[in-house]
Structure 1
Amino acid sequence: MDRPPTAETDVADELAAVRPALLPRYAAELPGARAAVLTRLWRALVHEPLPWLTGRTPGPYGLTLRLADGRTLRGPHADPYATAAYVTAVRLDRERYVDPARLTAALGVPQAASFAAELAHSVASLALSRAAANHPKEWPARDWEWEQRVVDGHPFHPNCRARPGFSVADQLAYGPEHGPVVELGTVPVPVDRCLVSGDWPAELRDRDRLLVPVHPWQAAHVLRRPCDPWRPARPLMSLRTLALPGGPHVKTALSARLTSSVRDISVYSVEAAAALSSLGAELAARTDGLLHVTRTLGAASDGSSALAALLRESPEEYTGPGERVLPVAALAGTSLPDDPAWLAAFTRLALTVGLALLGLGVALEAHGQNLLVILGADGGPRRLVYRDLADIRISPARLARHGVPVPDLSGRLITDDVTALRRKLFGSLVAGALAGTAGSGPALAAALRSALPGLPDTPDLAALRDDPLPAKALTLMRLSPGRTGDSWTTLPPPCATTFPDLS
């Protein structure tokens, strides 16, 4: 039998102390939050190479998964590109589970206990986010307002809202979906102890010291020191990046585990910031105006990942009269993707840009947070904006073939391996941003079938059209703490697959 997991009751207890008026809505949102996370978990169980699953057998009423110890899991047929919460229960042998944390704990596989705790937190935080969501029907006017409308987090990760280490008060104070204003501070660091890339503004200099912007949570929980008040800002989707009124976006170090990994700003990211920004400008200039890449204005660190910041252009710098810019992840909250013609046009735009840059030698991490779309006054997709170049992949050989200056960079960003390049782009753009926008396999397949024939016929396009689609094995990574780097799986090729009717 399922019982309320500790995280749900813990959040309720904290909520009773800090925002008691939200308690009824929070309780009402819990069943839907459990189904949303369970749907994401079932997708992983069906499609990821989990070592303790030995077989998957389709039947007339659903799927049966066999565990190495002889037990069986039974659930519905799965659409790996669906975002609706269609999995309301899964059976482990004869026991029926509606809660993903309880199911994971019962599996008893390596790392199950810690992952179950994260899933319980994801459910509770998701219910809290939904309970507090109260957005007007009118379209937002500012880019940060769009970001606050992305309530559910990652469309396919079971840890879509897991924020371990954040209390309820922290989530209400810092989570973008709760609409807060965050008071950023600064910490002074002697210039001779700082690593700086790009231009650091005079506003953040004090004689022989640099003033490094710091998130208040980081100051309290990691640095454990007070910071000097600086400026109010609005948190964006990533939570650690914030929009200053009338100014740039500030990416702060925030050493907390969000979704999959601990977020910080590495020394390498600071060192590479200026070179990557120059590369982004070079690439954007080769897309016939279809892509803008936000410039990194300056980056600074005290030599650690615990105190660092990047100042980046706002995407609004690239909008014209009557235009709006919003992260692709926010599109699912509009009616735009419901129009097949609109979805096909957006898919064609995204693939035109993504495949062109891949051909030049750069694979973007074009998921729904990094990739933004500029909409015209009529709502049509006009251009794209890309931000945060810290996790792209660069092929020196491809760049050289096209006469693009090869940046003076090394490390994980650099590879000529075609599999790694395609995984980076296809896994983020198609299995991530486009699938999350389409909301289902049939809708994604229809958009791709409309968009692909008009694109240049290249080996990269052929791989996207004909081969299984790479996607990050997000649950496998969470259950493999000793493994470094990304783990991957493949999903059925959208254009060649018949998907189950989940209605």
Structure 2
Amino acid sequence: MPPPADRDAEARADADAAAGADVAERADACAAAPLLNCLLREVARPVEGEPGVHRLPGSGRLLRVRGGRRPVAPEVRADGGWQRLDHPGLVALVAEELRAYTGLPNHELPAEMTDSRDAVAALLTARARATSPGDPYLRSEQCLLTGHPHHPAPKARGGGPVTSWLPYAPEAHARFPLTLLGLREDAVAEEGDCSALDALGTAPPGYRLLPAHPWQLDLVGPALDAAFADGRLIRLGSTDFDTWPTAAIRTVYEPGRDLFLKFSLDVRITNDIRRLWRHDLLKLRRADAAVTRAFAAGPGAWLSDRGYRTADFAFEELAVLVRDGFAGRVPPGATPLLAAGLVEGFGDSPLDRLTDPAAWWRAYLRAVVPPALAAFTDHGVVLEAHLQNTLVAVDADGMPVRALFRDAEGVKLLTDVDRAAGWERLVYCLLVNHLWELADALTERHPGLDPWPAVRDELTRHPLPEIPALLTAPTLPGKTNLLLRWTGADGADARYLPLPNPLAAV
């Protein structure tokens, strides 16, 4: 018999191996679900009479999955039986199918799918050692281990080493100080109200304060060496407080100052390189002003992107955007929660303690739908009202009382886009990406709930000329994130395919 010390070492090794296997299994499941959702929505065709079985039209192969809104256990038909696919096998199957289906090769996206899965594994390991924030709002922002439910690689972090991004990952419950730079006054480029930045520290005479995300500086790297050498930039240390990264990763929140700051990151996250692009910054104030007017007297609240500051020699690389906090926008006693967090699930979510899901759902719709529709029809503003841009304030009983929207960068104005195109975008963001996903999360918990009559009732309260057609249309627009990424389309180039309209079936 081995001595006690050896037995303890063996036990620890066994426990570590079991924990590693559990992490690997969970990472595979988290990464496979959104990838399968994309494949089933955009490419595969259901086989009549065989539940869960789909034909892949490019290769002709049969795929079988289990589960509902988060498919699991993918299997492919081969050699007269069903063969289970691990994550590498699923990635290979998807790549083979898309090459046949589109006639195009793509070497980047399969690597991103693998990177996304490996990122989830790293996040799971880090979360096991981290402390979840006590604030339910922050928990809702930092819970998105699966992330976008219809994206092939929602957790990819640009392929960089884990050590480069994990310290700043919201899913790992990160919190960190910001780097403070001094930017010489003659090199400052800014617009709007950036006074909140000047309160983050002290800049020497002749300089203005410019906070930076630590990962942002690592990514820019040697490109700033000349500016540091000639004094256009100086290092001023770090903030004496921590900030919390939100679900958007490049946006952080500082609760003590009730302040959001959004930074520029040269990393592809979902469809886009998350840089604050010059063309977006230059039209930001116009878009934000339009939304602010739309919300001035109507329902809901808007978190204004009130201004930006950057360096004229590194306009996009060093840009920081100042966003309003919650003060005056959340009713007294209420708590804001991220809509995407409600879908993903987090500790003490209101969905965990519902006794009347139908009443909760009606209250949610009454909070979220009117502001988005009023902004569109009364002010010509198309909100990007998807899950990650919508917050819902709930009262002490968990009942929704107000919706808050954010991100002027994603706003479209009907003075710039065709009304039909703007309506299609709103329907996708609000109905398909947002309400449909939350409805599925609710019905998974409460199978007896039919969420769509309440959606239909809420929509009929609003006299938009597009509503009657929406209620009877056979399909709704679904964004094709898998095909968009495979064909190399611009990340902002939304392409839709028709999905069966659950409203028309009511």
Same fold (TM over 0.5): yes
CA–CA distance in structure 2, aligned partners of residues 350 and 91 of structure 1: 41
Counterpart amino acid of 1:235?
Answer: P
Runs of 5+ consecutive residues of structure 1 not aligned to the other structure:
1-20, 397-413, 499-503
SS in structure 2 opposite 1:159? coil
Structure 2 residue aligned with 1:477, among 479, 484, 498?
484
Which residue of the partner structure matches residue 462 of structure 2? 456
Which residue of the partner structure matches residue 182 of structure 2? 188
CA–CA distance in structure 1, aligned partners of residues 248 and 27 of structure 2: 20
Which residue of the partner structure matches residue 387 of structure 1? 406
Which residue of the partner structure matches residue 435 of structure 1? 436
SS in structure 1 opposite 2:177? strand
Superposed, which structure 2 residues align to 1:262-341 within 5 Å? 262-287=273-298, 290-303=299-312, 304-332=315-343, 333=345, 334-336=349-351, 339-341=357-359
Which residue of the partner structure matches residue 229 of structure 1? 237
Alpha-carbon spacing, 1:25–1:93, altered in 2? closer, same or farther (3 Å): same
C-alpha offsets along residues 339-381 of structure 1, whole Å, 9 cap, x if unaligned?
Answer: 2321232123212222222212111111121110111122111
C-alpha offsets along residues 264-287 of structure 1, whole Å, 9 cap, x if unaligned?
Answer: 111123223333332222111242
SS in structure 1 opposite 2:376? helix
C-alpha contact (below 8 Å) 1:292/1:386 kept by paired residues: yes
C-alpha contact (below 8 Å) 2:305/2:408 kept by paired residues: no
Structure 2 residue aligned with 1:446, among 447, 450, 457?
450
Structure 2 residue aligned with 1:71, among 38, 60, 75?
60
C-alpha contact (below 8 Å) 2:243/2:254 kept by paired residues: yes
Alpha-carbon spacing, 1:89–1:263, altered in 2? closer, same or farther (3 Å): same
CA–CA distance in structure 2, aligned partners of residues 75 and 279 of structure 1: 48
C-alpha offsets along residues 2-57 of structure 1, whole Å, 9 cap, x if unaligned?
Answer: xxxxxxxxxxxxxxxxxxx9875453132233233333223222322x5xx7x654
Percentage identity across paired residues of the two chains: 24
Superposed, which structure 2 residues align to 1:53-64 within 5 Å? 57-64=47-54
SS in structure 1 opposite 2:468? helix
Deviates more, 1:307-316 or 1:364-373: 307-316
SS in structure 1 opposite 2:145? coil
1:359 pairs with 2:377 = yes
SS in structure 2 opposite 1:67? coil
User: Which protein has the larger Cα radius of gyration, Structure 1 or Structure 2?
Assistant: 2
TM-score between the two structures when normalised by the length of structure 2: 0.80
CA–CA distance in structure 2, aligned partners of residues 235 and 178 of structure 1: 10
Alpha-carbon spacing, 1:144–1:97, altered in 2? closer, same or farther (3 Å): same
C-alpha displacement of 1:136: 11
Which residue of the partner structure matches residue 137 of structure 2? 143
Which residue of the partner structure matches residue 86 of structure 2? 98
CA–CA distance in structure 2, aligned partners of residues 164 and 236 of structure 1: 18
Counterpart amino acid of 2:456?
Answer: L
Which residue of the partner structure matches residue 37 of structure 1? 31
C-alpha displacement of 1:431: 1.4
Deviates more, 1:334-343 or 1:136-145: 136-145
Alpha-carbon spacing, 1:134–1:256, altered in 2? closer, same or farther (3 Å): same
Superposed, which structure 2 residues align to 1:177-216 within 5 Å? 177-201=171-195, 202-203=198-199, 206-216=204-214
Superposed, which structure 2 residues align to 1:108-147 within 5 Å? 109=99, 110-133=104-127, 140-141=134-135, 143-147=137-141
CA–CA distance in structure 2, aligned partners of residues 90 and 459 of structure 1: 46
CA–CA distance in structure 1, aligned partners of residues 394 and 213 of structure 2: 31
Structure 2 residue aligned with 1:87, among 66, 69, 72?
72
C-alpha contact (below 8 Å) 2:124/2:172 kept by paired residues: no
Alpha-carbon spacing, 1:268–1:364, altered in 2? closer, same or farther (3 Å): same
C-alpha offsets along residues 56-108 of structure 1, whole Å, 9 cap, x if unaligned?
Answer: 5433233332434x5323224896xx2xx333113165554232323234447
Deviates more, 1:138-147 or 1:454-463: 138-147
C-alpha contact (below 8 Å) 1:104/1:113 kept by paired residues: no
CA–CA distance in structure 2, aligned partners of residues 64 and 427 of structure 1: 25
Counterpart amino acid of 1:473?
Answer: T
SS in structure 1 opposite 2:410? coil
C-alpha contact (below 8 Å) 1:183/1:230 kept by paired residues: yes
TM-score between the two structures when normalised by the length of structure 1: 0.80
Counterpart amino acid of 1:292?
Answer: A
Matched pairs, number: 450
C-alpha offsets along residues 131-155 of structure 1, whole Å, 9 cap, x if unaligned?
Answer: 4446999994363343123332222
Alpha-carbon spacing, 1:139–1:378, altered in 2? closer, same or farther (3 Å): farther
CA RMSD of aligned residues (A): 3.2
